[in-house]
Amino acid sequence: MAELNAYLTALLQQSPMLGVAVMMNNYFHDVATAMLAASAFCLYAAHRVQESLNTPDAALFFLKTHRVMVRFFRFAFWWIILGGVPRTVFYASFEWNHFADKQQVPALMVKHVLMAVLVVWGVVAWRRLKAKVALLSQSLAPELRVKLDAEK
């Protein structure tokens, strides 16, 4: 493992553009984590409004909102998975070495715990909302279902 870390560190020193690519990937990986959690939070808020109004139009609005927000969730989820591969490969040589040199390891640990909590919470929230979406979709009036299906 130490040899791989040394090799990747040397590679990063030889290619500044690789360092920029790794840095941008890490940045977008963090943004994707925030997007995943934020999309779950926003959809949960829309669901709360729908529940309080409890009208067919509110249900239709919520289901349409869900359709749009699920795209954000999927994009964020797959970016977290796919963007995590290079982040993991370059972690020791890029992120860990940088923070260890500046005595910021506890801050890095807190960041990763927070990010893990956001991802887990986001996925759990989406799974719970998925069940509510299924229930609401089944109870939708036929004329509203036509409106919902027309915008697929």
Please work out, in degrees rounded to the nearest 5, the angle formed at the alpha carbon of residue 108 by the alpha carbons of 11 and 91. 25
pLDDT single digits (tens) 106-145:
888 898 899 999 999 999 999 999 999 999 999 999 998 8
- How many domains in the chain? 1
Which whole number is the average pLDDT over 14-19?
A: 82
pLDDT single digits (tens) 31-90:
999 999 999 999 999 999 999 999 999 999 999 999 999 999 999 999 999 999 998 888
* Distance in angstroms (rounded) separating the CA atoms of residues 50 and 48: 5
Give the largest CA-CA distance in the chain: 65
pLDDT at 5 over 70: no
Which residue range forms the structural domain that includes residue 86?
2-150
* Distance in angstroms (rounded) separating the CA atoms of residues 104 and 60: 48
Burial of 29 (0-12, 13-18, 19+ CB in 10 A): buried
